[in-house]
Amino acid sequence: MKLARFSPPIVAALLGGLTTVIGPGAVGSYAAASDIPLPIAHFAHMVVDEPHGHLFISGGAGTDGILVTDLDGGNPTVISGEPGATGLALSDDGSALYAALPDQDAIAAINTEKLTESARYGTGAGTHPDSLAVAGGTLWFGYGTADAGGIGSVDGAGTVTLRQDSGSWAAAPMLATTPTPSGVLAAAVQTGDTSAFVTYRAEGGALTRQAAKALPVPDLSDFAVTADGLHLAVPSFQGATANRYRTSDLAVDGQFAMGVYGKAVAVAPDGTMASGDRGFVTFPETGEGYYTEYSYARELNSAAHDLAWAPDESRVYGVAVDASGGSPTLHISRNPEIAPVTLYESWTIPLAPGEAYSFVVSPDSTLSLGAGESLLPGTVHITRYDDADPDGVLVPDPTVSPARIPVSFFGSYRVDGTAPLTGQLSFRVDYSGSGHYGPAGRTFDIPVAKYAPTVALAAPSSAERAAPLTVTGHLTWPHAHVTTGAVHVVKTDLAHPSGYSVGTVPVAADGSFAFHDTPQAGGANTYAFTYDGGTSYLPVTASAKAQVSRATPTLSVATDAKSYHSGATVKVTAHLGTTYNSRSVTLYDQPAGKSRTPLKSGTVDAHGNLVAYYKITRNTVLSAAFAGDYRYAPRTVTTRATLTPTVRTQVQWPLSTTRIGSTTYQVFYKSEVNMGFNLQVTPRQSGDCMSVYVEHYYSGTWHHVTSQSCVPLYSDGWYGYSRALKLFADNGHYRIRGHSTPPAEGAQTGSVWSQWTYLTVRPGSPS
């Protein structure tokens, strides 16, 4: 059975349907790695010679030898006289190391015991051999330049043969074969946005083409043949996939367990793979998940061909370089085929003395279960520690559940029990490890202490005075609980502001309780319920409030007038009707733009009245408030007193006056050019504006002839209106007046009209 996985915290949270606390388990150190700076300037290739205890590392162009270390990266030495060595390969029997020398147009054979060159094979002028592979008992090499290349061979007698492949290559091809001797050979070269691949059977010193195809690899730097020779693994930065390419026809044939990323890939003899970007991951060829993961230091990057397996699969070697391709550093990952296991536990909290508990242990790993597996292989032992068993006692029968998506991906182990009455509770979980899974262990505590349950109350939001009401409640624990404790009730109302006890109510086994009351005082009746916790829990208190009805009192407020001039005294009278045990009223004034302030407080007289006097300077809201008593509700009422401003008018430049009927007219002559009409508003407020209206008398009535609407006043409250006298009819009768309008928001006064000013205009000039 192959199971999909999620992250460990999600796995743990889904277990058991419990209220959970989740803690990570210890991770085994199965991917321990060492970082060793290498005494070479650059890196080109690496092979592992386990039988002789050697690690061979070439540096490419600009170097003069091949670096040799032991299998731990120590005791470095150099095989000198191998200038520009790049591609490396071991002979099938491991007795010879082959090194490509592109600048020398040669391949060197080096004795792996003596670490000395035993032969050198010239490949021809301008061939520049680079990549090497041993397949079918023959050493094969890719050669050529950036324009053309080919595949050559060196047989057991040292005979060099070029153009072993009848096809053409755009550059020197890169070669790869299986990690153990076989007759499978593959070659590839990048050609623009794709890479050309060819697979062969290598037999008797000759190549037979199996398949040729362009694959979608835009940045070819390495590739590998799987251990069974049936597939290719091709890493990439730009086009990384998990595709397995079949060597028989280069078609996609399923997926690897992970995507093949980065610049390098390596295959172990048992088929395990390694690849990565800025580090490497080891993973099985198929299935899901991975074994180990290692990240290089931030300043280091992966290099092409930088991964190699020890033949016994006990180690993976990686070489990282800096941004310039220099400063090679060797990384050795041990136990690369053992996946770490993490143990996660979830338990019921909080846990009170004597309560039942359950917890679940869920293993997790980077490697998913394989086909046919329904539980993480190996054994799990769980030990309980408490005051009764301080040295621990093995939990005999944890409930084992097989893997189940999406709850548990590796199976789980459930333990049920009862918390001790005193002391603490701890557990130790040990996983033995098995196969590709490493052992793991974890110790954790389940806290045991008194805690407060939650309490919920339900009360009517409103109720009638002197009528029955009921408040119900419910205590809730997060799991099965011990039945203990009682609920005590304290009531607070207007008659008892400090509260008083009204008794104890029983608690049912399910945590429910109810209290019945008939309130006599109106207003807020508050009921405080305190559960005392009994022997196992902490106290908890909650309150419920019911608004008990009160009668609405008769209350009014009035002034002796509705409009006043500035500085006038306003008489304010509040009247209170029938109440129960309070006859107190407070009068307030709130001038426009200011806060409300108390004007007078006191007990109303025998007629129910309270009188106050107020000097008005702007529009004012006057209010009367009754605070309420046991049976009558609070009430506030308001009225408004409006300030009427004064408007002065002033006519400019009239020469005389005349009487027309009973009305005095200002006399103007057209030669005077303009008539001026000024108005001043007192008091002035910001945002006031003045409108001016002019009317003409004819046909027995006044007619509107012109106006100017809502023009702001000057800072001194004046506004001047001017009109050309030539626009008036000769000897016509006219009148003019203004209207002051307060601002729409925050008006401190009311509006006001000025008196009419009458005028007539005569032709010509005054004599």
Instruction: Encode pLDDT of 130-157 as tens digits.
Output: 999 999 999 999 999 888 999 999 999 9
Mean pLDDT to the nearest integer, 462-490 = 94
For all residues of the chain together, what is the average pLDDT? Answer: 92
| Paired tokens of 415 | 């333990």
Coil/strand/helix, residue 517: strand
Confidence at residue 101, expressed as pLDDT on a 0 to 100 scale: 98
Residue-wise pLDDT for 270-308, tens only, equals 999 999 888 999 999 999 999 999 999 888 999 999 999
Q: Mean pLDDT over residues 98-102, rounded?
A: 98
What pLDDT does 372 receive?
Answer: 82
Distance, in Å, from the CA atom of 162 to the CA atom of 152, rounded to the nearest integer, reads 4
What amino acid is encoded at 253 in this protein? D
Q: In 3D, which of 5, 75, 11, 12 has the Cα closest to residue 38?
A: 75
CA distance linking residue 619 with residue 34, whole number of Å: 87
- Across the range 180-189, mean pLDDT stands at 98
Structure confidence at residue 392 (pLDDT): 96
* β-bridge pairing 620-626 and 106-111: unpaired
Q: Is 503 exposed, middle or buried (0-12, 13-18, 19+ CB in 10 A)?
A: exposed
Q: What percent of the chain has pLDDT over 90?
A: 82
Note the pLDDT of residue 34.
66
| Residue 24 confidence (pLDDT) | 46
**φ and ψ of 156, to 5 deg:** -60, -25
pLDDT category of residue 319 using cuts at 50, 70 and 90: very high
The string of pLDDT tens digits covering residues 413-444 is 999 999 998 899 999 999 999 999 999 999 99
| Spatial distance between the Cα atoms of 610 and 513, rounded to a whole number of angstroms | 49
Q: Could you tell me the two tokens for 9?
A: 């915290």
More confident residue, 51 or 403: 51
Q: Per-residue pLDDT for 684 more than 90?
A: no
H helix count then E strand count, the chain = 1, 63
Q: Specify the pLDDT at position 229.
A: 98
- In Å, the largest CA–CA distance within the chain is 147
Q: Looking at the predicted structure, is the pLDDT value of residue 14 above 70?
A: no
pLDDT in tens, 328-365: 999 999 999 999 999 999 887 889 998 989 999 999 99
Q: What is the pLDDT of residues 512-538, one digit of tens each?
A: 999 999 999 999 999 999 999 998 899
Nearest to 520 by CA among 578, 461, 467: 467
